[in-house]
Structures are given as C-alpha cells and as structure tokens.
Amino acid sequence: MTDRKLELKSDFIKFALSSNVLRFGEFKTKAGRLSPYFFNAGLFNTGESLRELGNFYARAILESGVSFDMLYGPAYKGIPLSAATAIGLANRGVDTPFAFNRKEAKDHGEGGTTIGAPVSGRVLVIDDVVSAGTSVRESVDIISASGASVCGIVVCLDRQEKGTGERSAIQEIEEDLQIKVISMFNLSDLVNFLEQKNDLKQDLEKIKAYRLQYGVDV
C-alpha cells in the first residue's frame, strides 16, 4: 500500500472521530451483535463536514485509479454523498455527471426511476457502508436496465465482518458480481490506527476481540 493511501485512511479516520461519526462503546448491529464501535455517516450533517466528506471520496476515487464515466447514489444516503463527491471531483478538475434513484417510480413530469444525468457508460456507485448488499444489487439492476454497467462501488467503511456465511457482504459483491469495492478504511485499518493511540488501548482490545469472533479472512 502506498504512503498516500495510508495517509488517506489515517486522515479519514481522524475526520470521522472528530465529527463523532465514528464512536466507541457498545452498539447493537442489525445482525444483533454487540459491536465495540459504530459508524454513522448520517452524522456528516453540516455543510462543512459534507464538503470535507466529498473531498475524501474524491481523493479515494482518484487514488484508486478506477475508470468511470459518472456517479450514482442509491437513495437515500447515497443522494447527498454522490452530489458531494461530484463537487469534490470538480474541485480537482474532474467534472463528473451524477444521478440518483427514486424509491418509487414517478409516472408524471419527467417520470422514471432516476434523477440527474442520464445513466450511461461506466457507473461508479457512491454509498456509505455495505451491510447485507441488498441496495447494491438494487443499484446494479437499475443501472443495468439503463444499458450502463457498474464499474465499482465506493464506501466509507468496510467492516470486514461475516454476514450469514463465512464471507462479508463486500466479499460477496466482489466475488459474485465481479465488482470492485473501494473503501475509505476497513476494520484492519482501524486496528492499525488505534495501535498508535495509547489513550484508546481499551477500545483497541475490544475491537480485536470482536474481529476475532466475527471478522472474515482477508
């Protein structure tokens, strides 16, 4: 991993902590597990934090080298994320069209299931996290129905956590759908970050124990 990628991961974790988006404690996940950490991208809820978030997405995309023609944000969280990312890319000289979907198709006015630029070419999906992968598969169906193709997915966090089987939702997507997932940071990155922080050793040990119990092979 390059120094720039390591710096991006560290910078983003610091940003998430300072924004109180990444927190430590005891939190119940959708799977009913008690997690020692919690990440809620919905708390990037000010103009400044959303601007910074868009810049982080843009950095991650350009650093990854992925080739794309447009951005797509799955409703609902993906809507502001894709818009912020488009702005972040424009600030770096990459003017990129973006679109997002409606939860229900509109049968009047402009109609259709998507809003924004026409969905075409190589589409990069922008989301916060991947839980069960359901929204990703819905996005793939919508994008494919438009005659376009998904070239990758960008998320804030890869929990590297087992789903219903031995694979994580992201591993299932990458292996079953053959789609690359780019994450700002993952659980291993968080462990590496906390190992450098003496004041967070208690949280580190809890996260290591959680990873041992629920983590996937990487």
Conformation bin of residue 93: beta by default, left when phi > 0, alpha when psi is -120 to 50 = left
Annotated catalytic residue: which of 5, 77, 103, 108? 108
Interaxial angle between packed helices 3-18 and 187-194, expressed in degrees from 0 to 180 and rounded to the nearest 10: 80
* Distances 198 to 66, 107, 113, 193 between C-alpha atoms, Å: 36, 57, 50, 11
Whether residue 108 lies in the annotated active site: yes
Tokens of 84: 């912020």
Which bin fits 186, alpha (ψ -120 to 50), beta or left (φ > 0)? beta
Catalytic residue among 14, 106, 197, 201: 106
94, 62 Cβ separation under 8 angstroms: yes
Interhelix angle 201-214/187-194, nearest 10 degrees: 150
Q: Which residue has the tokens 């049968």?
A: 107
In 3D space, the residue among 86, 104, 103 whose CA is nearest the CA of residue 95 turns out to be: 86
Buried-exposed string 7-35: b where 16+ CB fall within 10 A, e elsewhere: ebbeebbebbeebebbebeeeeeeeeeeb
Tell me, yes or no, if 103 is annotated catalytic.
no
The residues annotated with a catalytic role in the active site are 106, 108
